[in-house]
Structure 1
Amino acid sequence: MADVLSIYDPAEDLVSEDGIALFMAEALETGDAAYIANALGVVARAKGMADVATKTGLSREQLHMSFARNGNPSLQTVLAIMKAVGLDLTAKPHAG
């Protein structure tokens, strides 16, 4: 009997504000711009892409393009989306 694989979307499990904040904090700690952009896209899907589009003034297509594999959202776009999903971008000194 063949195993059946299902598609997993982490956005479905991001149901609390604390969970979303932790998810993004861990993504930011990687320092990997593509990974961070992808994680922000997951958060946007969790919050509802249409709602995020309305709050940012960006189209859903612009949001999807920003978070595509080769997407490269501008800092302005990242900040607008962070605000729309209820997150702040903060800085802290490097450890060490």
Structure 2
Amino acid sequence: METIRPFDVAEFLDDPKTAVAYLAAIFEDGDAEEIRVALNDVARAHGISDLSRETGLSREALYKAFGSNGNPTLTTLLAVFKALGLKLSIAA
């Protein structure tokens, strides 16, 4: 009997262009919880250990910030975006 694995979007976000499109679509709606989940997905796709090394934040801090009860600070978000090669922009 085959076992069915749960769907994990992070498995499909290893390409930077795909990750950017995914985040852009999530940010379009503006729901904070959905954004946190999407950032968690992209962080896991990138690799939490790699992200930790690139940001200088501990793995635990990243898991806490983007976990189910997370609420990342602006400092954390900016560090993660920089490590992922992303920029925040504002548009009217």
Q: Aligned residues: percent identity?
A: 42
CA distance in 1, matches of 2:15, 2:4: 27
1:85 is matched with which residue? 84
1:32-67 residue CA offsets vs partner (Å, 9 max, x unmatched): 111111111111111111110011111111100111
The normalised TM-score by structure 1 is 0.87
Two-structure CA RMSD over aligned residues (Å): 1.5
- Note the residue ranges of structure 1 that are not aligned, 5 or more in a row: none
Pairing 1:1-96 to 2, within 5 Å after superposition: 4-93=3-92
CA distance in 1, matches of 2:74, 2:32: 11
The normalised TM-score by structure 2 is 0.91
**Which structure: larger Rg?**
1
Q: After the TM superposition, which of the residue ranges 2-11 and 78-87 deviates more from structure 2?
A: 2-11
The structure carrying a bigger helix percent of its residues is 2
- Note the residue ranges of structure 2 that are not aligned, 5 or more in a row: none
Deviation at 1:27, TM superposition (A): 1.2
